Structure 1
Amino acid sequence: MTPAPGVPASPTVPDVFEPAKLGPLTLRNRIVKAATFEGVTPDALVTDALIDYHVKPAAGGIGMTTVAYCAVAPEGRTDRHQIWMRPEAVPGLRRLTDAVHAEGAAVSAQIGHAGPVANAKSNGLPALAPGKLFSPISMKSSKPATAEDIARVTEAHANAARTAVEAGFDAVEIHLGHNYFASAFLSPKLNKRKDEYGGSLENRAKVARGVCRAVRDAVGDRIAVTAKLNMSDGVPGGIDLAESLQTAKWLEEDGGLDALELTAGSSLLNPMYLFRGDAPIPEFAANFPQPTRLGIRLVGKKFLIAYPYQEAFLLEFARQFRAELSLPLILLGGITNRETMDLAMREGFEFVAMGRAILREPDLINRIAADESRQAVKSLCIHCNRCMPTIYSGTRCVVIDPEPPTVV
């Protein structure tokens, strides 16, 4: 998608650098640092390295940064090193939110349950899914979630949101994407249940809708509530655009969300569908012991599929949501420069979310804001995606920072 250059065409189109309302919040601009697992929480608690990770883009001009991944339950982590929302985590989280606020930015906690994407071996607890699914990472099968499990996970989201309020967060982002717990229930490929949570889309959407309602009931209007929703899983038989749009309409009607961030891809089946660009298979393989390492090298191209990069690569899907929803929308995917930001504003999106470009240059937003030509500053990110495997050692751009950070 080639963005049109220059100034927004109409005075009614918002300036991406003007303050904007997000539920009860007012952000200093319309640019969000997307959630990307930071890989610097070895004890599932906040570290100085995690704080530094979010202070840098806050000082660099971002409107709001998103802490990922704040699991709602210990078995809901993709590995045991991820933070899960509990009383012991609050003091560190408060240090983090205070530090981000000192730089003038807001901060959101991405809350969710990894479901079948959770690493049962690492967590020492069974992964939960709509049914029995095999994970090549943990070499274990997931446990089919009972109605009691679903109720517990739903309440855990509400409790995690309450913890976020206590820790000073301005918002929570509910993870409904990438075939995590709620997303796995939405997927007709993964959800073969015959009970009230399977079959029709209305049944498969009950988990996602229930979680969003529980979170809103828990926090009221004390903080903003957003959600990340798959537009497409990128796999045959998975969530498709039509079903995702209907789910989004129900979420809008339910009234629990202040905005929806639109995403794509499956961490379980097709992770690179969201991360367009190169597929760093050798770098991924190096993080795993044998025989998993050899397996990734041999069949990695079938799982880590390289998709060509282009600016605003999710826009074609996302504009169909914009046409049918009044809910504020956050455009994600290939947002790296002012031209693409202005395009998103002209297309009717209220916010944009950035990931890899900010990892490469935490001060990119300040530099774009200072560029009066609106075209001179270009992201230095080359979309090699070698940042992705660094989630196991400290997420970073290896082009400029090849060594892992010191975690204290």
Structure 2
Amino acid sequence: MTSPFSPAALGPLTLRNRLIKCATFEGMTPEALVTDELIEFHREHAAGGVAVSTLAYCAISPEGRTDRHQIWMRPEAVPGLRRLTDAVHAEGALAAAQLGHAGAVANSVSNRAAALGPGRIPAPMGMSLTHKLAQDEIPALRAKFADAARLAVDSGFDALEVHCGHNYLISSFLSPLLNHRRDGYGGSLANRARLAREVIETVREAVGDRVAVWAKLNLYDGVGTPGPGHSSRLSGFNVDEACAVAQLLESDGHLDAIEPTAGSSLLNPMYLFHGRAPRKAFANAFHGAMKAGLQVAGPIFLKHYPYTDAYLLPLARELRKAVDLPLILLGGITDRASMDLALDEGFDFMAMGRALLREPDLPLRIEADPSTESLCTHCNLCMPTIYSSTRCPIRTGEATAPGW
């Protein structure tokens, strides 16, 4: 039986084990540049035993950030990024950079730039509508992805994750609910997948085979019915379409792996996380109209989904049947049993998030003692901390009152 702690190949890389620290936006870059706090965050996870620590979120352009405090890839960011990758490498791990454009999830007020979308769709964080990305603007967008990819490699990153999930820009093009275009980037699934395919091709051409490249791809946006056989314009992007897009991406030959994900930062964020919905804590993370809006709409927008280990596995199985590419299972990987289950089901790697916020050294402790149980309670109180400094409030002793 393959062990989750055995070395494994991912594209040109050899990982020391099969565990990846997934992208969990850190909220530690107030000047849109790397800080010592951010470096220590990733160094601690690398020292804790994962094979790869993923930096999130590296926007390809200023308007592609969810707010102005996020890193965007430019020459001024390289020295700090190099310090971060050096720190991760010193602990024996590899470093990945998540590249993307937030699209309608961007805060146009904070960024002082219009958010982008496949059409004029709501951008709630800026309380505005997006600018429709014109077809003749897409080559410039691709060039920004290429520049960002090259800067990441120059900064010492070993792998790149292209963000095609959560209804960020590329994901919004995939969604039949959000993309109503009538040109070559809308309508049929092949057209809606065109931007994803072009961006991934651009990234690969920019970096060659020097680094691993994988895509974070939505299986389900969290709207309508999640299971196979239910794709429709009203249900958003669903697992049937996700499998078809994954097959297109596989046929293009530019990816080393796919990390399936789910949920929508615009429409249904809790579907990605499962567990308690911290409505009160989310509202308290904002001020003014946003706080009031979340207090009123929280029960609608922040839904409750019961937590189980490996909770995305039922959808991810469909993807496993559809493609031969290596897959990275995300969602509820917290112990040796869930890791072994992922391997038994044909997944090549496992991505861990919240459990590592609570215990960065959890992989080392599970390797030493397979009976180790995670202390993460899946309360999701970590989620609202992304706007200040991502952390587990229980670990830091801040969670003195319920956040629900």
Instruction: Tell me the TM-score range normalised by the shorter chain.
Output: over 0.9
Structure 1 CA distance for aligned equivalents of residues 67 and 28 of structure 2: 12
- Give the TM-score of the pair, scaled to structure 2: 0.95
User: What is the correspondence of 1:335-350 to structure 2 with a 5 Å cutoff?
Assistant: 335-350=333-348
Work out whether 1:378 is the aligned partner of 2:373. Answer: yes
**What does residue 197 of structure 1 align with?**
185
Work out whether 1:175 is the aligned partner of 2:163. Answer: yes
Read off the aligned partner of 2:209 and give its amino acid letter. Answer: D
Which of residues 55, 59, 62 is equivalent to 2:50?
62
Work out whether 1:117 is the aligned partner of 2:105. Answer: yes
**Is the 1:265–1:272 Cα contact (8 Å) retained in structure 2?**
yes
**Is the 2:19–2:352 Cα contact (8 Å) retained in structure 1?**
yes
**What does residue 277 of structure 1 align with?**
275
How many Å apart are 1:295 and its aligned residue?
A: 1.6
User: Mind listing any 5+ residue stretches in structure 2 that lack a counterpart?
Assistant: 225-234, 400-404
**Is the 1:361–1:380 Cα contact (8 Å) retained in structure 2?**
yes
Work out whether 1:81 is the aligned partner of 2:88. Answer: no
Structure 1 CA distance for aligned equivalents of residues 136 and 29 of structure 2: 30
Structure 2 CA distance for aligned equivalents of residues 148 and 75 of structure 1: 18
Deviations 1:138-172 (A, max 9, x none): 11111011113222222211111101110000000
How many Å apart are 1:136 and its aligned residue?
A: 2.6
Which of residues 392, 399, 404 is equivalent to 1:397?
392
Deviations 1:90-139 (A, max 9, x none): 00000000000000000100000011111101100000001111223211
Which of residues 115, 118, 140 is equivalent to 1:130?
118
**Is the 2:115–2:123 Cα contact (8 Å) retained in structure 1?**
no
Work out whether 1:218 is the aligned partner of 2:206. Answer: yes
User: What is the correspondence of 1:87-98 to structure 2 with a 5 Å cutoff?
Assistant: 87-98=75-86
**Is the 1:281–1:297 Cα contact (8 Å) retained in structure 2?**
yes
**What does residue 258 of structure 1 align with?**
256
How many Å apart are 1:402 and its aligned residue?
A: 4.4
**Is the 1:251–1:257 Cα contact (8 Å) retained in structure 2?**
yes
SS of 1:247's equivalent in the other structure is helix
Read off the aligned partner of 2:155 and give its amino acid letter. Answer: A
**Is the 2:260–2:329 Cα contact (8 Å) retained in structure 1?**
yes
Read off the aligned partner of 2:385 and give its amino acid letter. Answer: T
Which of residues 287, 290, 294 is equivalent to 1:289?
287
Deviations 1:310-337 (A, max 9, x none): 0000001111111121100000001000
**Is the 1:172–1:225 Cα contact (8 Å) retained in structure 2?**
yes
The alignment of Structure 1 onto Structure 2 pairs a total of residues equal to 389
Deviations 1:234-254 (A, max 9, x none): 113210111110000000000
Structure 1 CA distance for aligned equivalents of residues 338 and 326 of structure 2: 18
**What does residue 362 of structure 2 align with?**
364
**Is the 1:115–1:129 Cα contact (8 Å) retained in structure 2?**
yes
**What does residue 7 of structure 1 align with?**
none
Structure 2 CA distance for aligned equivalents of residues 277 and 225 of structure 1: 30
How many Å apart are 1:306 and its aligned residue?
A: 1.1
SS of 1:163's equivalent in the other structure is helix
Structure 1 CA distance for aligned equivalents of residues 186 and 293 of structure 2: 33
User: What is the correspondence of 1:144-159 to structure 2 with a 5 Å cutoff?
Assistant: 144-159=132-147
**Is the 1:285–1:294 Cα contact (8 Å) retained in structure 2?**
yes
**Is the 1:336–1:378 Cα contact (8 Å) retained in structure 2?**
yes
Structure 2 CA distance for aligned equivalents of residues 77 and 111 of structure 1: 11
Structure 2 CA distance for aligned equivalents of residues 309 and 110 of structure 1: 26
Deviations 1:241-293 (A, max 9, x none): 11110000000000010000000000110000001001111111112122221
User: Mind listing any 5+ residue stretches in structure 1 that lack a counterpart?
Assistant: 1-10
Structure 2 CA distance for aligned equivalents of residues 115 and 294 of structure 1: 24
How many Å apart are 1:400 and its aligned residue?
A: 1.4
Q: Name which of structure 1's ranges 262-271 and 289-298 shifts more when overlaid on structure 2.
A: 289-298
Read off the aligned partner of 2:338 and give its amino acid letter. Answer: T
**What does residue 101 of structure 1 align with?**
89
Structure 2 CA distance for aligned equivalents of residues 378 and 47 of structure 1: 32
Structure 1 CA distance for aligned equivalents of residues 112 and 137 of structure 2: 17
**What does residue 4 of structure 1 align with?**
none
**What does residue 328 of structure 1 align with?**
326
**Is the 1:186–1:201 Cα contact (8 Å) retained in structure 2?**
yes
Read off the aligned partner of 2:304 and give its amino acid letter. Answer: A
**Is the 2:54–2:97 Cα contact (8 Å) retained in structure 1?**
yes
**What does residue 246 of structure 1 align with?**
244
SS of 1:174's equivalent in the other structure is strand
- Higher relative contact order by CA 8 Å / sep ≥ 6: 1 or 2? 1
Deviations 1:43-76 (A, max 9, x none): 0000000001101110010110100000011100
**Is the 1:113–1:153 Cα contact (8 Å) retained in structure 2?**
no
- Give the TM-score of the pair, scaled to structure 1: 0.94
Percent identity for Structure 1 against Structure 2:
60
**Is the 1:38–1:68 Cα contact (8 Å) retained in structure 2?**
yes
Work out whether 1:351 is the aligned partner of 2:346. Answer: no
Structure 2 CA distance for aligned equivalents of residues 402 and 188 of structure 1: 43
Read off the aligned partner of 2:6 and give its amino acid letter. Answer: E
How many Å apart are 1:403 and its aligned residue?
A: 5.7
SS of 1:343's equivalent in the other structure is helix
Q: Name which of structure 1's ranges 160-169 and 135-144 shifts more when overlaid on structure 2.
A: 135-144
Structure 2 CA distance for aligned equivalents of residues 359 and 221 of structure 1: 32
Structure 2 CA distance for aligned equivalents of residues 227 and 384 of structure 1: 28
